């Protein structure tokens, strides 16, 4: 899923994806519950990519993430690269 049709076109060229679709993570996503066993996300929650409130902040997905983690249903792995002064 991507907000950008151009990025979906690029992703499609790789041949790595079974399904690509346009979507906006700040709005409800029309996918049946329990459709996927896991989800990966790269670069989505970085500065400027999702409007406030960011999903990890109060008012976003923070409470849901904490609940799912406490129930052992998800595991969050995060690696943040230091910002460059360039």
- Taking the model in full, what pTM does it have? 0.53
Please compute the mean of the pLDDT values over residues 36-48 and round it to a whole number. 69
Alpha-carbon span 8 to 70, nearest angstrom: 34
% of the chain with per-residue pLDDT over 90: 16
DSSP 2: B
pLDDT for the residue numbered 6: 95
CA distances from 12 to 23, 43, 62 (A): 15, 18, 31
């Amino acid at each position: 899923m991507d907000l950008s049709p151009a990025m979906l076109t690029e992703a499609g060229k790789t041949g790595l994806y079974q399904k690509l679709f346009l979507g906006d993570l700040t709005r409800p996503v029309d996918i049946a519950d329990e459709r996927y066993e896991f989800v990966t996300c790269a670069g989505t929650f970085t500065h400027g990519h999702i409007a406030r409130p960011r999903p990890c902040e109060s008012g976003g997905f923070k409470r849901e993430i904490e609940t799912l983690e406490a129930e052992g249903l998800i595991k969050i792995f995060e690696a943040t690269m230091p910002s460059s002064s360039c």
